[in-house]
């Protein structure tokens, strides 16, 4: 993704191939079977076709890289990911059949990729959730998840520009693992938590450090637990960690936050900028690649 030299604190949900928000695989979202009874592994995406930039569609990516248009395979399917997930296992079964069939496949050059999920009811974020990040910042490991939120309207696509606000001069990158809740739940037990997780994706949670640290009360406005997670700025690795460093893992967070939720970002890890801005601005963003 090419971005401006400085970018805004807009949440960017990647598409989950368990790739990154700015890599060629950051557009899809790795799903699992909701009931846990089957080992489904699919990469779901939202997209527009080149000839129709107004009609949102849902697709599933094939191993070869092409995308099966689920709405062409079955015109009764919803045309947004949120509505698709609300259909539960019926929609997932249809996606699996479409993937096995292989018809209605489109090349990536024929589509424009969108965020995997748009307009969620809420985006729940977790701060200080990597052990190495806590150690790097010399802060105590939290005994309970540190929860804050983002606005759903702040989600942009994997190749969309991030607008830099004139009010901030300290904008940082933050690659994070995210998961998407696929069905309603309340007071979810930890042992049942994964039944509510539709899938995983990678997010780029851009932060305005001057607003986070100095203004307005600070910031308060697959084995997914063993994944390498890194951020490259101008091809240089700026963050490199592993989700095995997570303090509160998916099940614990679902149980904790199901007292309210839809999607959760796990928090940032070591080598996060929390850049020392007194040394001057960091290297300008020419390209940003979260993986």
The residue whose two tokens read 């296992």 is 89
Give this prediction's pTM. Answer: 0.67
Across 23-27, 77-81, 242-246, least confident range: 23-27
CA angle 110, 58, 184 (to 5 degrees): 160
Mean pLDDT of 177-206: 90
Tell me the three state secondary structure of residue 103.
Answer: coil
Q: How confident is the model at residue 106, as a pLDDT?
A: 95
Q: How confident is the model at residue 255, as a pLDDT?
A: 86
Mean pLDDT of 190-200: 91
Whole-number mean pLDDT of the chain?
78
- Flag whether pLDDT at 128 surpasses 60: yes
pLDDT in tens, 52-93: 877 999 999 988 789 999 999 999 999 999 999 999 999 999
- Flag whether pLDDT at 108 surpasses 50: yes
- Provide the 8-state DSSP code for 246: B
Q: Which residue has the higher pLDDT, 34 or 21?
A: 34
Q: How confident is the model at residue 204, as a pLDDT?
A: 87
Mean pLDDT of 153-173: 85
**Strand pairing partners for 289?**
232
- Flag whether pLDDT at 259 surpasses 60: yes
- DSSP H or E run through 237: strand 236-242
pLDDT in tens, 88-100: 999 999 999 999 9
Q: How confident is the model at residue 135, as a pLDDT?
A: 93
CA angle 230, 26, 161 (to 5 degrees): 95
Task: Count the helix, strand and coil residues of the chain and give each as a percent rounded to the nearest 5.
Answer: 20, 30, 50
CA distance readout (Å), 253 to 30, 118, 196, 244, 264: 19, 22, 12, 15, 8
Strand order in 288-290's β-sheet?
236-242, 228-233, 288-290
Across 53-62, 72-81, 208-217, 279-288, least confident range: 279-288
Mean pLDDT of 31-56: 73
Burial (CB < 10 A; 0-12, 13-18, 19+), residue 232, is buried
- 60's CB contacts (< 8 A; 6+ apart) are 42, 43, 44, 45, 67, 68, 70, 95, 98, 99
- Flag whether pLDDT at 163 surpasses 50: yes
Q: How confident is the model at residue 275, as a pLDDT?
A: 53
């Amino acid at each position: 993704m090419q971005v401006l030299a400085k970018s805004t604190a807009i949440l960017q949900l990647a598409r989950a191939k368990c790739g990154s928000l700015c890599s060629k695989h950051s557009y899809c979202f790795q799903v699992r079977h909701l009931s846990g009874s089957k080992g489904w592994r699919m990469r779901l995406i939202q997209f527009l076709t080149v000839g129709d930039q107004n009609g949102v569609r849902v697709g599933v990516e094939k191993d070869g890289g092409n995308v099966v248009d689920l709405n062409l395979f079955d015109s009764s399917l919803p045309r947004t990911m949120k509505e698709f997930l609300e259909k539960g296992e019926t929609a997932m079964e249809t996606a699996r059949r479409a993937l096995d069939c292989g018809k209605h496949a489109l090349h990536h050059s024929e589509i424009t990729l969108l965020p995997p999920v748009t307009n969620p009811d809420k985006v729940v974020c977790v701060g200080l959730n990597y052990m190495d990040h806590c150690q790097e910042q010399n802060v105590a490991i939290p005994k309970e998840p540190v929860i804050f939120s983002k606005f759903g309207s702040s989600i942009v696509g994997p190749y969309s520009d991030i607008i830099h606000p004139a009010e901030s001069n300290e904008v940082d990158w933050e690659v994070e693992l995210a998961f998407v809740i696929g069905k309603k739940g309340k007071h979810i037990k930890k042992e049942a938590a994964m039944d509510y997780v539709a899938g995983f994706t990678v997010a780029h949670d851009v932060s305005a450090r001057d607003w986070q640290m100095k203004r307005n009360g600070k910031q308060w406005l697959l084995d997914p637990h063993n994944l390498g997670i890194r951020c490259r700025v101008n091809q240089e690795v700026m963050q490199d960690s592993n989700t095995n460093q997570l303090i509160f893992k998916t099940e614990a967070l679902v149980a904790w936050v199901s007292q309210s939720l839809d999607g959760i970002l796990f928090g940032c890890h070591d080598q996060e900028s929390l850049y020392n801005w007194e040394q001057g601005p960091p290297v300008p963003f020419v390209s940003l690649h979260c993986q």
